[in-house]
Amino acid sequence: MENPVKVLLYEDNRDLREGIAFLLQATPGLVLAGAFPHVNNLKSELHAYMPDVVLLDINMPGMSGLEALPIIKSLYPKTQVIMQTVFDDDERIFQAVRSGAGGYLLKNTPPAEIIQAVFDVYRGGSPMTSSVARKVLQYFQQPPKSHPADHLLSGRENDILKGLMKGYSYKLIADELNISIDTVRTHIRNVYDKLQVNSKTEAILKAMKEGWIDEKA
Amino acid sequence: MENPVKVLLYEDNRDLREGIAFLLQATPGLVLAGAFPHVNNLKSELHAYMPDVVLLDINMPGMSGLEALPIIKSLYPKTQVIMQTVFDDDERIFQAVRSGAGGYLLKNTPPAEIIQAVFDVYRGGSPMTSSVARKVLQYFQQPPKSHPADHLLSGRENDILKGLMKGYSYKLIADELNISIDTVRTHIRNVYDKLQVNSKTEAILKAMKEGWIDEKA
DNA sequence: GTTGCCATCGCATAAAGGTGTGATTATCAG
DNA sequence: CTGATAATCACACCTTTATGCGATGGCAAC
């Protein structure tokens, strides 16, 4: 193998930190660049050690791992970051993933797999605890959500709403559906009632939040 | 542990099929319900064996695993399906994920991990080869697109746009920012010019398409 | 110190949107 | 047949938006 993989470790729990640090040091092909209990000197440490991989705990005193992640990725985009946490709540996971996390391991991950994960992420993989992976996958599988509108709005009302979501004016919608503008008004009125909103904008925002980004009709 | 996990295996390569079948049989807590080289009798086999987990090869003569997957998930939504393939191209992965795949392993996965994956997926996890996981994560990381607005719109213009994206009226925005409604008009005018739109709705839709769903200011 | 951008405000007007009230027709379930 | 729902249209009235034209003060770059 080529150069050893330089790893930087952030973990506030002393025992854990020293344990992992020992493992990293003891593994051929890996080099422990540093191990710290907080990310308050993140920038200078990054600059000093130029790590290939950062193992980043999320819950730390001071700046959290979630805040540190985007900083790392903006300064050194090629550096791979593996998040570690005891929690697998959706919010954290998605924030981490959006910010460019290269891996996401729960704290119960056995040490051997952590080591494996470091190599994985370095080679371009994304090691993930399977429960975390499930949450990510579920995000894609959402589509099977039943169109709330299907049972709430009538067919025509749906047509009108789609028109709104395409940014059309009443007149344009009327033209497209070959009905009068007053009819469009009526339908929109009913849509607003059912969606409990009272403006085009609110209706669109609600429709999007509710799930239908509307698959290009 | 409770009842053993019933596994159904589809794999056209005979050696592989028999190898994995043997492993499954030999593992305590697992029961091999059946092993077949194709999915042409999928429905009857599903009905006969009621598997908890299906190991599904993608490339098979006749119907492919990708076609079989949605059938399985629609008939037995709770059945977990692990896809197996030699390819990790984006197209297949996303199709599988959208169709409800519970796991995705490349063919080079060592047997022990396959067994582990079966248990994982049965417990609600989503075992994934790390290179596959990477592709999935990259989907989320697209957002790292630089805020186009940041260089296009001035600070205040951005504030106003955010107001619009929250569904506020001019008056509400004016109140919130403590400026006059006429000032709001002016800013909005400029925003429209810069975004090349000419209505609230278009501006919002464009802003969203361009990327900034705007993380709760 | 002039030029340019930003943020602020005003006024006026036309177009688009929101809402109240009411009506006709068709269709479908009970 | 009757009642409920859906889709269509009309008119009136007021509010919100869109846009043209103009103006002032601050600030930073050149």
State, as a whole number of angstroms, the distance between the CA of B186 and the C1' of C7.
Answer: 10
The model's confidence at residue B214, banded by pLDDT at 50, 70 and 90, is: very low
> What does residue A168 show for φ and ψ, rounded to 5 degrees?
-75, 155
B163-197 pLDDT tens trace: 888 889 999 999 988 999 999 999 999 888 888 89
- The CA-CA-CA angle for residues A129, B88, A132, to 5°, reads 15
Looking at the DSSP bridge assignments, the partners of residue B12 are none
Higher pLDDT, B20 or B216: B20
**pLDDT the model gives residue B2:** 66
Distance between B89 CA and the closest CA of chain A, angstroms: 14
Lateral strand order in the sheet of B5-10: B30-36, B5-10, B53-57, B80-85, B103-106
Asked if B70 is an interface residue toward chain A (Cβ–Cβ < 8 A), one would say no
pLDDT band at B148 (very low <50, low <70, confident <90, very high): low
B155 touches strand C (CB under 7 A): yes
Instruction: Tell me the pLDDT tens digit for each residue of A52-68.
Output: 999 999 988 889 889 99
Helix axes of A200-209 and A155-165: crossing angle, nearest 10 degrees: 100
Show the tokens assigned to B30.
């697992």
Q: Distance between CA atoms of B71 and A47, rounded to whole angstroms?
A: 52
Question: B216 falls in which pLDDT band (50, 70, 90)?
Answer: very low
Partner B, chain A 108-127, Cβ-Cβ below 8 Å: 117, 120-121, 124-127
| pLDDT tens digit sequence for A76-98 | 999 999 999 888 888 888 888 88
pLDDT at B215: 42
Sort B8 into a burial class: Cβ within 10 Å, 0-12 / 13-18 / 19+: buried
Mean pLDDT, rounded, for A18-45? 92
Q: Tell me: pLDDT of B58 over 60.
A: yes
A188 touches strand C (CB under 7 A): yes
pTM: 0.68
Radius of gyration of chain B (CA): 26
The reply to whether B170 has its C-beta less than 7 Å from any atom of strand D is: yes
Nearest to B113, CA basis, from A120, A88, A106, A7: A120
β-strand B30-36 against A80-85: which pairing, if any? Answer: unpaired
Which nucleotide has its C1' atom closest to residue B169's CA? D16
Distance CA A154 to C1' D5 in A = 9
Q: Is A55 helix (H, G, I), strand (E, B) or coil?
A: strand
Instruction: Report CA(B87)–C1'(D29) in Å, whole number.
Output: 57
What is the maximal distance between C-alpha atoms in chain B? 77
* Residue B173, nucleotide of least CA–C1' distance: D16
pLDDT attached to residue A54: 96
Task: Show the domains of chain A with their CATH numbers.
Answer: 5-140 (3.40.50.2300), 149-210 (1.10.10.10)
Which two three-digit tokens encode residue A78? Answer: 């090629």
Interface with A, mutate which of B126, B208, B209 (most A CBs under 10 A): B126
Q: What is the pLDDT of residues A170-209, one digit of tens each?
A: 999 999 889 999 999 999 998 888 888 989 999 888 888 7
Strand partners, B205: none
| Chain A 153-182 residues whose Cβ is under 7 Å from strand C | 169-171
What is the longest distance spanned by two Cα atoms in chain A?
77
pLDDT in tens, B13-33: 999 999 999 999 999 999 999
- Tell me whether residues B102 and A204 touch, CB distance under 8 A: no
Q: Is a pLDDT exceeding 90 seen at residue B76?
A: yes
Kindly report the number of other CB atoms within 10 A of residue B90's CB atom.
12
* pLDDT mean over B150-169: 83
Spatial contact of A201 and A161, defined as CB atoms under 8 Å apart: no
Question: Looking at residues B40-68, what average pLDDT do you find?
Answer: 92
Q: Express each pLDDT in A122-180 by its tens digit.
A: 999 999 998 889 988 887 776 544 455 456 777 788 888 888 888 899 999 999 889 99
Nucleic acid strand D within 7 Å of B198 CB: yes
